[in-house]
Amino acid sequence: MAKTDGGAVVDRTPFGLPSWLAAILPVLILGVIVGAFFLSSPFAALDSGGAPLPDVTVSHTTLPGEETVVLHVTNNGPAEVTIEQVLVNEAYWDFAVEGSGGDATLAPRESARVVVPYHWNPGWDIEVALILGDGATVHHTIVAPAQSPGLTADVLVTLAVVGIFVGVIPIVIGMLWFPFMQAMSDRWLHAVLAFSAGILGFLAVDAGIEAVELADAIPGAFDGLALVFLGVVGSLLAVQSVSAWREGRAKAGDARAQSGLWVAYLVAIGIGLHNLAEGLAIGSSFALGRVSLGAFLVIGFMLHNVTEGPAVVAPVARGERPALYHFAAIGAIAGLPVILGGWLGSLAFTPTLGAFFLAIGVGAILQVVWELRGLVAREGRVGTATNLLAFLVGLVVMYATDLFVAV
């Protein structure tokens, strides 16, 4: 019921139904139509009787010892499949299937572990083939295998130490440039913000490429590219909602919302999400026995991530200096996720999880780059020669350090 401008009462609910019933009425009608569709089977006459092709993916492997190979498989097809035989290096081997009710049959979208008691040699590639019930064959190559150390207290401590050196220490070192940035003119501070945007922009592109590449290993049942798209757009909108809430508070006169501290926290969140995905890669590589935890790798990551420090504190280089606990919180948000990612990666890594975390980082970083643009635009002009060159320098610096890490 509602009143018009003339004061007359108008009934706006259909057929005089309660508003709650009017809200669910379309859903009820849709349910009836869908149910009738399936019960009547209108396309039964068009069924040629052909069975759907099997679609099984080996997402990744783990090697708990030199006498065992574990294949993590998913049935992507609409019909159940049965693993009849396993070939390792062109020879038939005994195997057991875990996680599918104790037998070798996988229901649609079901995942399981195929455990093969095979003695393998470190560094020698392993060719594996799964022969399904209808004769179809699924091939998978384990490149340069190495033993997975498993999840132990020593592994968790090691990953935490590596995370501190890779994520926390480099960002703290970069934040030490804050007093120097406070003494800069507006022109050069804007250049630093543009440099920070270049750093974040490269991180977004790099993580996006990795996410798309990793999506190829995601079981087809989960549609890897669509999942990456969902992660990018979802995180971008989530961070944008925080930014929009901040803008509303600023227009309402909240002095804290008008400061650059909010942007600094958003930058830290974006970098933290990227570093979470970086830690996930470290932890998963460690769990799969494919990572070198030598000093060279740690130094490479430190050089790669130290440039993130100025990006975090540049938004607060003007105005009143924030309290020390804000610096500690910003550094923790940006750096500590490396440790969490390392633990998650070593505990439960899958290509699906890795690609999704990378995509989340991409979306958040893209929104933060837009925030940095807005911060410069409020106090000056974005497209100056100095700012454009600084943005380019940020891209080049990250590319150079990325090459150093990849060596």
Nearest by Cα to 398 from 281, 285, 319, 310: 310
Q: Are residues 368 and 226 part of one domain?
A: yes
Q: What is the pLDDT of residues 252-281, one digit of tens each?
A: 766 666 677 888 888 888 888 878 877 877
Q: Are residues 37 and 63 part of one domain?
A: no
Q: For residue 22, what are the domain limits?
A: 2-46
DSSP labels, 213-235: HHHTTS-GGG-HHHHHHHHHHHH
Nearest by Cα to 129 from 117, 142, 119: 142
Q: Are residues 91 and 24 part of one domain?
A: no
Taking each helix axis from N to C terminus, what angle separates 261-287 and 351-379, rounded to the nearest 10 degrees?
Answer: 160
Q: Are residues 298 and 170 part of one domain?
A: yes
Residue 147 lies in a domain: no
Position 320 pLDDT exceeds 60: yes
Q: What is the pLDDT of residues 11-59, one digit of tens each?
A: 556 666 777 777 888 888 888 988 887 777 666 666 655 566 778 888 8
How many Å from the N-terminal Cα to the C-terminal Cα in the chain?
Answer: 70
For the segment 299-307, the average pLDDT, to the nearest whole number, is 72
Q: Are residues 382 and 260 part of one domain?
A: yes
Residue 51 lies in a domain: no
Q: What is the pLDDT of residues 327-369, one digit of tens each?
A: 999 999 988 998 988 888 777 567 787 788 888 888 888 887 8
**The domain boundary residue, chosen from 97, 112, 142:** 142
Position 229 pLDDT exceeds 60: yes
Of the pLDDT bands very low, low, confident and very high (cuts 50, 70, 90), residue 91 is very high
For the segment 394-404, the average pLDDT, to the nearest whole number, is 82
Q: Are residues 273 and 248 part of one domain?
A: yes
Cα 250 to chain centroid distance, Å, stands at 31
Q: What percent of the chain has pLDDT over 90?
A: 16
Side chain identity at residue 35, one-letter code: G
Q: Are residues 248 and 353 part of one domain?
A: yes
Please report the sign of the dihedral spanned by the C-alpha atoms of residue 244, residue 247, residue 253, residue 259.
positive
Residue 63 lies in a domain: yes
Q: Are residues 310 and 187 part of one domain?
A: yes
Is the separation of the CB atoms in 73 and 114 below 8 Å?
yes
Residue 352 lies in a domain: yes
Q: Are residues 255 and 332 part of one domain?
A: yes
Q: Which residues pair with residue 91 across a beta bridge?
A: 88
Domain count within the chain:
3
Of the pLDDT bands very low, low, confident and very high (cuts 50, 70, 90), residue 9 is low
Residue 114 lies in a domain: yes
CATH number, residue 74: 2.60.40.1890
- pLDDT at residue 93 in the model: 92
Tokens of 381: 């002009």
Residue 398 lies in a domain: yes
Q: Are residues 171 and 250 part of one domain?
A: yes
Alpha helices for 288-350 (secondary structure H): 295-306, 308-313, 324-335, 337-348
